[in-house]
Structure 1
Amino acid sequence: MRVEADEVEEDEGVVFHQGVPFTGEVVESRPDGTVLTLYTYLNGVEDGPYREWFDRERPYKEGEMRYGVPVGRHRRWHADGRLAADLLFGEGGDQLERREWDERGNLVTEWVKQR
């Protein structure tokens, strides 16, 4: 099921649709139908992929959540399309890697968890 963001309510970190914890996709769209945000929920908690866009062609950020916990690769971009951040999370949500770049493409942060 997919609903628009204005059709859900959030209470204490849980998203509800028609008074019930929501399972499905919540999107925010422009009047022309362009999707700007997409978040996936299970029983009202973020679970699954999320994506945001500056516009139709330019992604802003993306990643995956598992019952409210970030897992896997999460990325964010600058408006010009250059990568701004690249983060890697383990299965339990612990951050394993973090890299960030400024608007000119210079690496400003690099961190890798010692294993």
Structure 2
Amino acid sequence: MKRRIDIDDDDVDMDVEGRLFYGGEPYSGEVAEYLRGALISLDDYVDGWPHGMQREWYANGEPRGEGVARNGLPSGEHKEWHSNGRLASKKIFSAERGELLAEYFWDEEGNSTRAWKATED
């Protein structure tokens, strides 16, 4: 089982670059955030950087967002949902540099509201 800490723990700190420390050392493991006892986010970290799954939930337990980070940068497909469970957005990032390649948005009824895709050079 992975080591897990609460983001609100007094021993948690973050530097100006966004690197997370626990007890003064770069942290590796899961970082959880709770709201009134409900788990609302759970992120994987390696050496202080987001690396692995990044997940968020509404307080009622329904999914709010998910994606993957690699060495502190977004990687691959990231999704967010409206509180009614419908997909709100999907963003696609390059695996290497975290560059945004495409993004899509939907309203709460599931209608497409905006789409963008990077042009190939």
Q: What TM-score does the superposition give when structure 2 sets the normalisation length?
A: 0.86
* Unmatched tracts of structure 2, length 5 or more: none
1:20 is aligned to 25
Q: CA deviation at 1:31?
A: 5.5
In the alignment, which residue of structure 2 is the partner of 1:29?
34
Code of the residue aligned with 1:16 in structure 2: it is: F
Matched, 1:42 2:46: yes
> Quick check: 1:75 aligned with 2:64?
no
Backbone CA RMSD of aligned residues: 1.5
Looking at structure 1, the residues matched to 111 and 36 of structure 2 have their Cα atoms a distance apart, in angstroms, of: 36
1:1-115 matched pairs, under 5 angstroms? 1-7=3-9, 8-12=12-16, 13-30=18-35, 32=37, 34-55=38-59, 57-91=61-95, 92-115=97-120
CA contact (8 A) 1:35 1:56 kept: no
Query: How far apart, in 1, do the equivalents of 2:44 and 2:61 lie?
Result: 21
The 1:108/1:22 distance shift into structure 2, 3 A limit, reads same
Cα deviation code 1:64-88 (max 9, x no counterpart) = 1001111010000000001000111
Percent identity, aligned pairs only? 37
Structure 1 residue ranges, 4+ long, deviating more than 3 angstroms after superposition? none
The 3 A distance-change label for structure 1 pair 110 and 77 is same
* 8 Å contact kept, 2:35–2:59: no
- TM-score normalised by L of structure 1: 0.90
Paired AA for residue 5 in structure 1: I
Instruction: State the 1:55 CA deviation.
Output: 3.3
Aligned residues: 114
Which consecutive residues of structure 1, in runs of 5 or more, have no partner in the other structure?
A: none
